[in-house]
Amino acid sequence: MTRRPTMNDIALDAGVSRATVSLVVRDSDQIPESTKQRVRASMERLGYVYNRVAGTMRGGGSRNLGLLLTNIQNPYLAEVSMAVEAAAQESEYTLLQGYSLGDVERERRLVRSMVENQVAGLIVMGAVESDGSAFDGLGGPRAVPLVTILRPIDSVAADHVGIDDRRAGRLLGAHLAALGARTVAVLGGFEGARMLEARLGGLREGLAGSPARIPTSMVVTDDGHGNYSSETGAHLVAELLERGSCPDAIVTYTDAYALGVHQGLRQHGIEPGADVALASFDNIPTAAQIHPTLTSVDSAPHLLGAEAFRLLTSRIAEPGGVAESVVVEPHLVIRQSTALWAPPTPA
Amino acid sequence: MTRRPTMNDIALDAGVSRATVSLVVRDSDQIPESTKQRVRASMERLGYVYNRVAGTMRGGGSRNLGLLLTNIQNPYLAEVSMAVEAAAQESEYTLLQGYSLGDVERERRLVRSMVENQVAGLIVMGAVESDGSAFDGLGGPRAVPLVTILRPIDSVAADHVGIDDRRAGRLLGAHLAALGARTVAVLGGFEGARMLEARLGGLREGLAGSPARIPTSMVVTDDGHGNYSSETGAHLVAELLERGSCPDAIVTYTDAYALGVHQGLRQHGIEPGADVALASFDNIPTAAQIHPTLTSVDSAPHLLGAEAFRLLTSRIAEPGGVAESVVVEPHLVIRQSTALWAPPTPA
DNA sequence: GTGAAAGCGCTAACAT
DNA sequence: ATGTTAGCGCTTTCAC
């Protein structure tokens, strides 16, 4: 026999009916132990592997979920992926994973392919330009449950798990104000994107009441296609320094940029931490490993992933209803890159 | 109608038979353009989505592949994942992904679940202790094609894509010898693992002919359960320094460890690059971003992922035959952490 | 060029 | 406690 054995084969071999085999697979207590033993022995001997695809098609819902991310070069998203996978494995779900690279066309293809594969639900970090058209087939009464993470998608009323970016900004702003920074630069982030606006707004709130300002000339955005590489950070800081004087503090959009800023500053003879305070968002592992260690706002990727999974599965269990939105609270991790800094003493 | 529309619904709506709809989906040229248009219009209007699961069950083989990694906190594996995904997307495959965390039990569960889900093939980075028992059902004539990456799995005769670890070690050894290093320490890696043995062996070969040695007391291994965190590196270097004097050069098993070694050295007042040469394997992006930048052996994760995919799909197309083994050639990227170092001048 | 019918491997309702 | 039957959504001969 060259094909894989089926329940029929097992039934035949064990001298029972196919239905009985099916019940044994699910360990039903209608089946006496003696029969189970016999059936299991046949499975073992013939090398039977349950065909979940056929089972799903017949009856119960799919146990597959789709996880669509932009890019896991970004350690933050890598950790989200691992968190979702851990939760899925725990609950006996399987994960279809894909990367859009921030490209709307890839995103559309991936969503389509996951839905064609009958996923029970989707967790999506959308591309910046996502207009929701990739999710058209998912709306309406026969919707595939969808949870967006980090970036809500325009015109798609889905459950969402995000970060309180405003609060993240505020934490950082308050910290920099307390240090005595007077001028703060902001590097990176897609101009007009909600995330950047929220972080900037929060930063301003945190700085309010102190003499600190964020001069317009010191806000340098990128085009949002960032692959979150440190090179982006190096470019951004080069542009900043070209524009004029060095600020007291630099806030970058994500830790990866801060690494590039490190480099860029040193090339100009400026020592991060000592000459200028540097802080960022995401708190990737590297932040604690570079020198000087990097102050960063931690946004609990593990929690975010776990919440996204929880929200998705509860929506699968209980479809419909109004979209829910969960916010993960960030916390500030203060390290050398700001702690070492002090305002220049007026000589 | 609350359920998703099926081919039957489309057929009914378009006034053709189900078989015709099936042919339209695959754009068969037996169907005249006029009919296709009509059918496609119905699909559009009813919001039809092709059910690939049912299609697979009936006829053609599955278009799903399984990718089983230990952990994508490791940027090297993250890049492998992205490479495999890119290739899969290109060829209209879908990816089931899971993380074993180096745990044999999780590995077993994931393999089982992927096979139950009828994947057409598997790409696996096995846990250190994998004995192949997780892959038992896959052997024999009805095998699921399997490609192992980076670490062959004992007793499983599968296609393999690996790195020429010996060569990687040799490149590094030759470089350190040329620098004039006399004592070289090796930190990290699971004692007895092939990968470590190969790298160590290569390192010795590269050093041969020079006065350099690797004292036994300067080889500090770990337990192989490493999550590739920099903390491991910090511990390893602490242990090394406890054992006695500082070597001329330190080679770590992976870049993440080197970051921790950075930290650990500085805590002892030793400056990496200046006081001791430091080099590693993997060449993760961070290697170019820290200070001093880190010399590392690049092992082309993107190439490795692409090769694994190529090997797997060609095995799916042409099952059986003798297992193939592909080796990706590493190359040395020299950066400040070694370039800045010079032997102490005998005063 | 299109339709009718069988069947992939499984589950669930009902029957015994 | 186990068997019978129908059918999930699709593809594939084989008719017409």
Alpha-carbon distance of A215 to A219, in angstroms, equals: 7
In this prediction, residues B173-193 reach a mean pLDDT of 92
Asked if the model's pLDDT at residue B168 lies above 70, the reply is: yes
The answer to pTM > 0.75 is: yes
pLDDT for B290 equals 87
- Residue A287, SS3? helix
Within 8 A of B142 by CB-CB distance, chain A residues are 2-4, 47
**B158 CA – C8 C1', rounded, Å:** 29
Within 8 A of B256 by CB-CB distance, chain A residues are 285
Within 8 A of B78 by CB-CB distance, chain A residues are 72-73, 75, 78
* pLDDT above 70 coverage of chain B, percent: 96
Q: How confident is the model at residue B281 (pLDDT cuts 50, 70, 90)?
A: very high
B340 touches chain A (CB under 8 A): no
Strand D nucleotides, any atom under 7 Å to a protein CB: 1-5, 7-13
Within 8 A of B71 by CB-CB distance, chain A residues are 82
Beta-carbon separation of A73 and B78 below 8 A: yes
Condensed to tens digits (0 to 9), the pLDDT of residues B212-271 reads 999 999 999 887 665 677 788 888 888 888 888 889 999 999 998 999 998 899 889 999
State how far residue B49 is from chain A, nearest Cα, in angstroms: 6
> What letter does residue A285 receive in the DSSP assignment?
G
**B173 CA – C8 C1', rounded, Å:** 58
Alpha-carbon distance of B223 to B253, in angstroms, equals: 12
Strand D, CB < 7 A, residues 15-54 of A? 15-20, 23, 30-32, 35, 54
Q: How confident is the model at residue B334 (pLDDT cuts 50, 70, 90)?
A: very high
Within 8 A of A141 by CB-CB distance, chain B residues are 2
Q: Give the strands of the sheet with B184-190, arranged side by side.
A: B219-222, B184-190, B249-252, B277-282, B295-298, B331-333
Q: Which residue has the tokens 């096995």?
A: B126
In this prediction, residues B102-109 reach a mean pLDDT of 94
CB A116 within 8 A of CB A96: no
Q: Which of residues 177-216 of A touch B (CB under 8 A)?
A: none
State how far residue A211 is from chain B, nearest Cα, in angstroms: 33
Asked if the model's pLDDT at residue B111 lies above 90, the reply is: yes
Classify strands B64-69 and A325-328 as parallel, antiparallel or unpaired: unpaired
pLDDT for A285 equals 87
State how far residue A11 is from chain B, nearest Cα, in angstroms: 19
Beta-carbon separation of B291 and A288 below 8 A: no
Instruction: From B78, B118, B126, select the one nearest A99 (Cα to Cα).
Output: B78
- Which of the residues in chain A have pLDDT under 70? 1-2, 137-142, 224-227, 346-347
A332 CB-near residues (< 8 Å, 6+ apart) = A171, A172, A175, A295, A296, A297, A298
More confident residue, B96 or A245: B96
Distance between terminal CA atoms of chain A?
A: 90
What length does chain A have?
A: 347
Q: How confident is the model at residue B87 (pLDDT cuts 50, 70, 90)?
A: very high
Q: Which residue has the tokens 């307390």?
A: A178
State how far residue A139 is from chain B, nearest Cα, in angstroms: 10
B107 CB-near residues (< 8 Å, 6+ apart) = B68, B100, B126, B127, B130, B134
B19 touches chain A (CB under 8 A): no
Q: How confident is the model at residue B139 (pLDDT cuts 50, 70, 90)?
A: low
pLDDT for A224 equals 64
CB A323 within 8 A of CB A157: yes
Distance between terminal CA atoms of chain B?
A: 89
Q: Which residue has the tokens 């068969």?
A: B28
pLDDT for A215 equals 93
Beta-carbon separation of B99 and A112 below 8 A: no
Give just the sign of the alpha carbon dihedral A29, A32, A33, A35: negative
pLDDT for A140 equals 60
Give the nucleotide nearest to A57 (CA→C1'). Answer: D8
Beta-carbon separation of A288 and B117 below 8 A: no
B296 touches chain A (CB under 8 A): no
Instruction: From A229, A221, A226, select the one nearest A286 (Cα to Cα).
Output: A229
pLDDT for A60 equals 73
Q: How many CA atoms lie within 13 A of B295 on its CB side?
A: 26
Give the nucleotide nearest to B15 (CA→C1'). Answer: C2
Within 8 A of A263 by CB-CB distance, chain B residues are 289, 291
Q: Which residues of chain B form beta strands (DSSP E)?
A: 64-69, 94-99, 121-124, 146-149, 159-163, 184-190, 219-222, 249-252, 277-282, 295-298, 325-328, 331-333
- Helix (H), strand (E) at residue A316: helix A301-317
| Residue A8: CB less than 7 A from any atom in strand C | yes
Condensed to tens digits (0 to 9), the pLDDT of residues B34-85 reads 888 889 998 988 889 999 999 988 877 899 999 999 999 989 999 999 999 9
**B313 CA – C4 C1', rounded, Å:** 36
| Residue A211: CB less than 7 A from any atom in strand C | no
pLDDT for A137 equals 66
B289 touches chain A (CB under 8 A): yes
B270 touches chain A (CB under 8 A): no
State how far residue A208 is from chain B, nearest Cα, in angstroms: 33
Q: Which of residues 141-180 of A touch B (CB under 8 A)?
A: 141-142
Give the number of other Cβ atoms within 10 Å of residue A280's Cβ: 27
